[in-house]
């Protein structure tokens, strides 16, 4: 009964979203303010019924209702309760229900936290979002109904959740990622609303900035968490695979990163107006493309959902209508659009332009690599090839290096025109200092490698420039330290975000260049030497988990005769699906993770054991978290907490006269 | 932007949609009928992947089954594996594997990692059986009846949807014809 109610709630949510699209449109047409404002209250209704529907599916999971086909496929009575809960979004249907829930959440937020918008503009934004929602609900109801029953003959036991997904990472990763993906619908809706009303002034850029920052921050955290999950759960010790699904989340991130910079330029200086609109459309397009790639089955990946061509076709139609429509609208309106403000060659605008070019080109080359197998198949009679990390590394790294140089150099630039003396001041000394630091780090890691020295130098150069920028802001004033704390949060957000990039860069280069990986045959009692560590294998014992049997290994790690840790990697056999999973065990040290995984059992109690040492690999995720947090920090900045239109106006006037910041 | 250039995005997008749409035609199994439909399984003599015993086409008859061509080098096969496992556990369908042009050790490790829903596998290291079957690439799946006659050929990844919509019908058709 509850399951049917859940299904019914979903239908109601769909109908309400339809009304939310139609009523305000009629209102706009007739100039009826009452109808125009219905969008706001309907947003609450759509949200409420989607939540109810989501709760109903959760209930079906927690009560082991295997008459629901989706539950039977993805759960099991032995599954621990927290995974029964997260199994709700463990496969296609339920995860798309989560997607619609996230969409209705964003719509609700936009409806209620958009006071500075005129009623009419807000209505347009909400109409666009409601239109997208209707598409999502129809897709869910018509092709992927999670509430479908298999009555009267239903299984007495479920097939279990994919063991890879029985992990804390899966509980948190998809919701964060979807907040990011779907959140990009907000700047998209703002962009479309401004095209639609032909109000391509700078105000839409100001209004959509906090939303874009929020979505981008969620996306950043989601990707970071996904990478961490892949590292400790997949058992290969890798943290990024250039897999089609990872690319599907990375491309929107690159575009969104370009977008947050370009929005700043548009808001502050009125430049790149039409480009910014286009980026907002692209960002969400890449989100939809990602959903399509993951769910259509035309590309395969370790992470892809069980796939169905019919669903893929439905999404492709949706993409064609939404993106095709948006780009047509864009072509019509952008025809007459011009940037009014000129800027000097030394202005920050130029750096942002270069940043945007590099980021969009990166997204484009990743898109080419991701879709190339498909194009190849189309042109060569179905012959299949796969494009792997060699391609992506070869094209992506050369694009990121100039970006890093540019990033370091441009931190102290200013809008319109930068005093070249300020920009270049002390760069020679900074660069010399960071080279010393970079080489120092390389020596500490124990390898005078050109890549490590180079990247570490760039990372330090960026960091020192950020420090210099902060110093410039407080220099010569009274009580500089107090003043430093009083800097707007937007400044801190910028500093922390870019510092995060420096941290990630250092983590990546040392993890890639310095990792030591050994695969050994180890019998109980054997000792292996890896780097300056000694690893002793004590054998395995059988352990019973809630829904799996496991061979748990015991390895002691010594350094200079001292016991550092006992690691217990596992090889698990999940009972319901009979699948085998490798659970690595990791000793986390700042100097380098010691990563141990069991390979295959060999004769007489011996095992193939995989031991990796990964120096500084943690920096990748620490940096990712810093970048994500910087996005949230920017939301707390004073100007976004100011509600009334009037005060908003005053502030923007004041900011215009002050030194502006991103 | 100068005026005609505002049309670039939409043109690029149209090309992209065309490519993605074409992707479906490629993986549409109905476009690739097999010459072997209605024919018996070609004769072969190949070792069992796990035991090494020599198997022939005679070992395949007795009950209807799915003959699945797979390999560890084929990423689509990883995606397909879950669906095959589900089909086997949920519907009790017998599945026989043809390990095609593959490294035998890697194949064994793969099965150990991902689980083994298959009744058994034959090792087709030279691709002889695959050539006789007219296989284009991995994965491909054939529906074979109890007498060893090929009823249907599916090119590409088998999903539960594909199973329910087509493969199951062919399997059911067989049990009716057989009884």
Q: What is the pLDDT of residues A81-127, one digit of tens each?
A: 899 999 999 888 999 999 999 999 999 999 999 888 889 999 999 99
Does position A608 have pLDDT exceeding 60, yes or no?
yes
Dihedral class, residue A297 (left if φ above 0, else alpha if ψ from -120 to 50, else beta): left
A453 and A514 in contact (C-beta within 8 Å)?
no
Of A192, A178, A181, A180, residue with least CA distance to A280: A192
Question: What pLDDT band is residue A401 in, cutting at 50, 70 and 90?
Answer: very high
Is a pLDDT exceeding 80 seen at residue A538? yes
Is the pLDDT at A48 greater than 60? The verdict is: yes
- Scanning A37-184, the segments in alpha helix (DSSP H) are 38-62, 69-74, 81-86, 92-112, 119-143, 168-183
Q: Which band of pLDDT confidence, cut at 50, 70 and 90, is reported for residue B29?
A: very low
Q: Is the pLDDT of residue B179 over 80?
A: no
Among chain A residues, the shortest Cα distance to B32 is held by A382
Q: Do B82 and A334 touch (CB under 8 A)?
A: no
Measured CB to CB, residues of chain B less than 8 Å from chain A are 1, 3, 6-7, 9-10, 13-14, 16-17, 19-24, 26-28, 75-76, 78-79, 82-83, 85-86, 89-90, 109, 112-117, 136-137, 157, 159-162
pLDDT at A364 (0 to 100): 93
Q: Which pLDDT belongs to residue A341?
A: 61
**Average per-residue pLDDT for chain B:** 79
Q: Is the dihedral of CA A169, A170, A173, A179 positive or negative?
A: negative
The average pLDDT across B72-76 equals 73
- Statement to judge: residues A299 and A414 lie in one domain: yes
Calculate mean pLDDT across residues A342-370: 87
Calculate mean pLDDT across residues B74-90.
84
Residue A468 above 80 pLDDT? Answer: yes
Q: Clarify whether residues A14 and A88 are in a common domain.
A: yes
Contacts of B18 (CB under 8 A, 6+ apart): none
Whether B8 is covered by a domain: the verdict is: no
* Residue B138, H or E segment: none
Show residues of chain A in contact with B114, CB under 8 Å. Answer: 579-580
Higher pLDDT, B27 or A231: A231
Q: Which residue has the tokens 């619609």?
A: A100
| d(C-alpha A137, C-alpha A107), whole Å | 14
- A25-29, A373-377, A562-566: which range is least confident on average? A373-377
Q: Determine the pLDDT at residue A202.
A: 80
Position B1 scores a pLDDT of 45
- Give A574's DSSP letter: E
Total number of domains constituting chain A: 4
| Full residue range of the structural domain in which residue B168 is found | 32-178
Residue A172: both structure tokens together:
């948190």
B178 pLDDT band, cuts 50/70/90, is very low
Q: What pLDDT score was predicted for residue A499? A: 97
Best CA proximity match to A509, nearest among A465, A467, A463, A457: A457
Q: A371: which chain B residues are within 8 Å (Cβ-Cβ)?
A: 16, 19-20
Q: So what's the pLDDT on residue A1? A: 83
Q: Are residues A56 and A138 in the same domain?
A: yes
Using 50, 70 and 90 to split pLDDT, how confident is the model at A464? very high
Long-range contacts formed by B169-178: CB under 8 A, 24+ apart: B170/B143, B171/B64, B171/B66, B171/B93, B171/B143, B174/B64, B174/B143, B174/B145, B174/B146, B175/B64, B177/B145, B178/B64, B178/B145, B178/B146, B178/B147
For the segment A577-596, what is each residue's pLDDT rounded down to a tens digit?
A: 667 788 889 988 877 888 89
Same domain for A243 and A260:
yes
Average pLDDT over residues A495-516: 92
Percent of chain B with pLDDT over 70: 84
pLDDT of B18 strictly over 70? yes
More reliable by pLDDT, A11 or A388: A11
Provide the token pair at A657.
């006269």
Query: A182 lies in a domain?
Result: no
Percent of chain B at pLDDT > 90 equals: 8
Q: Identify the pLDDT of residue B33.
A: 46
- Considering only CB atoms, which chain A residues are within 8 Å of B28? 309
What pLDDT shows up at residue A571? 86
Answer whether A580 sits within 8 Å of B115, measured CB to CB: yes
What residue spans of A475-575 are helical by DSSP H?
Answer: 480-485, 489-514
Residue A631 is inside which H or E element, if any? helix A618-635
Residues A57 and A147 in one domain: yes
**Boundary-marking domain end, from A369, A400, A425:** A425
Q: How near does any CA of chain B get to the CA of A374, in Å?
A: 6
Whether residue B74 has pLDDT greater than 90: no
| H-state helical runs in A202-347 | 203-233, 244-269, 273-296, 309-334
Residue B114 within any structural domain of the chain: yes
Q: Give mean pLDDT, residues A431-450.
A: 90
| Distance in angstroms (rounded) separating the CA atoms of residues A522 and A536 | 9
pLDDT of residue A386: 64
Considering the domain boundaries, does residue B15 fall inside one? no
CB contact (8 A) between residue A327 and residue B9: yes
Residues A503 and A523 in one domain: no
Contact A188, A215 (CB under 8 A): no
Q: Is residue A371 part of a domain?
A: yes
A341 in the same domain as A485: no
Q: Is the pLDDT of residue A659 over 60?
A: no
Work out the pLDDT band at B36, boundaries 50, 70, 90.
low
Contacts of B19 in chain A (CB under 8 A): 371, 374-375, 378
pLDDT tens figures, A251-268 = 999 999 999 999 999 988
User: Would you say residue A325 lies in a domain?
Assistant: no
Q: How many separate domains does chain B show?
A: 1
Residue A320 lies in a domain: no
Predicted confidence at residue B58, as pLDDT, reads 82
Mean pLDDT is lowest, of A128-132, A171-175, A467-471, B149-153, for B149-153
Same domain, yes or no: A34 and A124: yes
Point out the domain boundary residue: A391, A425, A459: A425
In SS3 terms, A398-452 reads as HHHHHHHHHHHHHCCCCCCCCCHHHHHCCHHHHHHHHHHHHHHHHHHHCCCCHHH
In a domain, B12, yes or no: no
Q: What is the average pLDDT value for chain A, to the nearest integer?
A: 86
Whichever domain contains B43, its CATH number is 3.40.30.10
Query: Which of A157, A164, A195, A297 would you mutate first to test chain B, the one with the most B CBs within 10 A?
Result: A297
Burial class (CB in 10 A: 0-12, 13-18, 19+), B178: exposed
Q: Report the percent of chain A where pLDDT is more than 90.
A: 46
pLDDT at B26: 54
Confidence class of residue B24 from pLDDT cuts 50, 70 and 90? low
Q: A131 and A208 share a domain?
A: no
Residue A470 maps to a domain: yes
CB proximity list for A330: less than 8 A, separation 6 or greater: A195, A274, A277, A278, A281, B6, B9, B10
**pLDDT the model gives residue A246:** 85
- Ramachandran region, residue A616 (left: φ > 0; alpha: ψ -120 to 50; beta: rest): left
Q: Is A76 helix (H, G, I), strand (E, B) or coil?
A: coil
Distance from CA of A355 to the nearest CA of B (A): 18
Higher pLDDT, A385 or B106: B106
Residues spanned by the domain of A338: 203-315+331-425
pLDDT at site A147: 95
Residue B149, in any domain of the structure: yes
What is the DSSP code (8-state) at residue B43? Answer: P
Query: Given B1, B17, B117, which is nearest A320 (Cβ)?
Result: B17
Greater pLDDT, A417 or A80:
A80
The pLDDT value given to residue A340: 58
Under DSSP, is residue A17 helix (H, G, I), strand (E, B) or coil? helix
Longest dimension (CA), chain A: 83
């Amino acid at each position: 009964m509850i399951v049917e109610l859940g299904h019914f709630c979903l239908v109601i949510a769909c109908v309400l979203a339809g009304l939310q699209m139609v009523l305000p449109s009629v209102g706009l047409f007739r100039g009826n303010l009452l109808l125009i404002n219905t969008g706001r209250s309907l947003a609450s209704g759509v949200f409420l019924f989607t939540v109810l529907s989501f709760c109903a599916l959760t209930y079906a999971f927690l009560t082991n209702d295997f008459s629901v086909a989706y539950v039977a496929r993805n759960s099991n009575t032995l599954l621990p309760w927290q995974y029964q809960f997260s199994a709700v979004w463990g496969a296609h249907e339920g995860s798309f229900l989560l997607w619609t829930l996230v969409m209705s959440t964003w719509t609700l937020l936009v409806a209620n936290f958009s006071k500075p918008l005129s009623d009419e503009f807000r209505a347009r934004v909400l109409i666009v979002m409601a239109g997208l929602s209707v598409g999502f609900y129809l897709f869910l109801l018509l092709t992927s109904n999670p509430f479908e029953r298999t009555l009267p003959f239903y299984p007495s036991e479920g097939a279990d959740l994919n063991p890879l997904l029985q992990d804390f990472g899966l509980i948190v990763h998809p919701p964060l990622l979807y907040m990011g993906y779907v959140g990009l619908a907000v700047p998209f809706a703002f962009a479309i609303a401004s095209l639609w009303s032909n109000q391509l002034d700078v105000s839409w850029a100001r209004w959509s900035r906090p939303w874009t920052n929020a979505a981008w921050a969620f996306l950043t955290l989601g990707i970071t968490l996904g990478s961490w999950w892949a590292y400790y759960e997949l058992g290969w010790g890798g943290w990024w695979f250039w897999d089609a699904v990872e690319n599907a989340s990375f491309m929107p991130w690159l575009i969104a990163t370009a977008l947050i910079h370009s929005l700043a330029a548009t808001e502050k200086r009125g430049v790149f107006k039409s480009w910014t609109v286009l980026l907002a459309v692209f960002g969400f397009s890449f989100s939809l493309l990602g959903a399509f790639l993951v769910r259509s089955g035309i590309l395969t990946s370790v992470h892809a959902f069980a796939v169905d061509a019919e669903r893929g076709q439905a999404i492709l139609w949706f993409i064609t209508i939404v993106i095709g429509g948006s780009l047509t609208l864009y072509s019509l309106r952008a025809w007459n659009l011009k940037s009014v403000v000129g800027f000097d060659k030394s202005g920050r605008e130029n750096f942002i332009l270069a940043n945007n070019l590099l980021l969009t080109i990166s997204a484009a080359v990743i898109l080419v690599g991701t879709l190339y197998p498909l194009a190849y198949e189309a042109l060569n009679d179905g012959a299949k090839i796969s494009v792997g990390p060699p391609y992506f590394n070869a094209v992506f790294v050369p694009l990121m290096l100039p970006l890093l140089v540019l990033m370091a150099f441009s931190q102290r630039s200013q809008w319109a025109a930068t005093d070249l003396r300020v920009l270049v001041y002390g760069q020679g000394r900074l660069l010399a200092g960071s080279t010393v630091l970079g080489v120092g780090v390389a020596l500490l890691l124990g390898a005078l490698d050109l890549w490590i020295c180079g990247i570490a130098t760039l990372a330090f150069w960026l960091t020192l420039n950020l420090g210099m920028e902060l110093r410039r802001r407080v220099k010569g004033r009274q009580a500089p330290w107090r003043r430093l704390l009083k800097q707007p949060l937007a400044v801190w957000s910028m500093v922390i975000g870019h510092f995060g990039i420096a941290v990630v860069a250092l983590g990546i280069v040392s993890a890639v260049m310095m990792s030591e990986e050994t695969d050994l045959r180890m019998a109980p009692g054997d000792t292996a030497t890896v780097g300056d560590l000694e690893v002793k294998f004590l054998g395995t014992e059988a352990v019973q988990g809630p829904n799996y049997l496991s061979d748990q290994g015991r390895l002691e790690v010594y350094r200079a005769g001292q016991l550092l840790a006992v690691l217990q990697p596992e090889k698990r056999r999940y009972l319901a699906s009979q699948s085998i999973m490798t659970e690595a065990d990791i000793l986390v040290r700042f100097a380098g993770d010691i990563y141990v995984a069991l390979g295959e059992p060999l004769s007489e109690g011996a095992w193939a054991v995989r031991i990796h040492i990964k120096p500084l690999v943690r920096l990748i995720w620490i940096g990712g978290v810093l970048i994500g947090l910087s996005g949230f920090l920017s939301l707390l900045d004073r100007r976004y907490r100011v509600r009334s239109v009037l005060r908003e106006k005053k502030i923007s006037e004041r900011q215009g006269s002050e030194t502006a910041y991103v | 932007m100068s005026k005609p250039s505002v049309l670039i995005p939409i043109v690029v997008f149209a090309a992209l949609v065309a490519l993605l749409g074409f992707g479906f035609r490629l993986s549409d199994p109905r476009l690739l009928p097999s010459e072997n439909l209605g024919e018996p399984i070609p004769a072969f003599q190949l070792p069992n992947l796990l035991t090494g015993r020599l198997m022939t086409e005679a070992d395949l008859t007795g009950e209807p089954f799915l003959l699945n061509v797979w390999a560890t080098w084929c990423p689509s096969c990883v995606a397909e594996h879950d669906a095959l496992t589900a089909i086997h556990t949920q519907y009790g369908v017998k599945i026989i594997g043809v390990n095609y042009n593959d490294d035998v050790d890697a194949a064994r490790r793969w099965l150990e990692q991902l689980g083994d829903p298959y009744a058994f596998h034959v090792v087709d290291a030279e691709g002889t059986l695959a050539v006789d079957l007219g296989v284009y690439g991995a994965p491909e799946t054939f529906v074979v009846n109890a007498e060893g006659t090929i009823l249907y050929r599916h090119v590409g990844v088998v999903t539960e949807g594909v199973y329910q919509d087509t493969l199951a019908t062919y399997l059911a058709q067989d049990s009716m014809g057989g009884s």
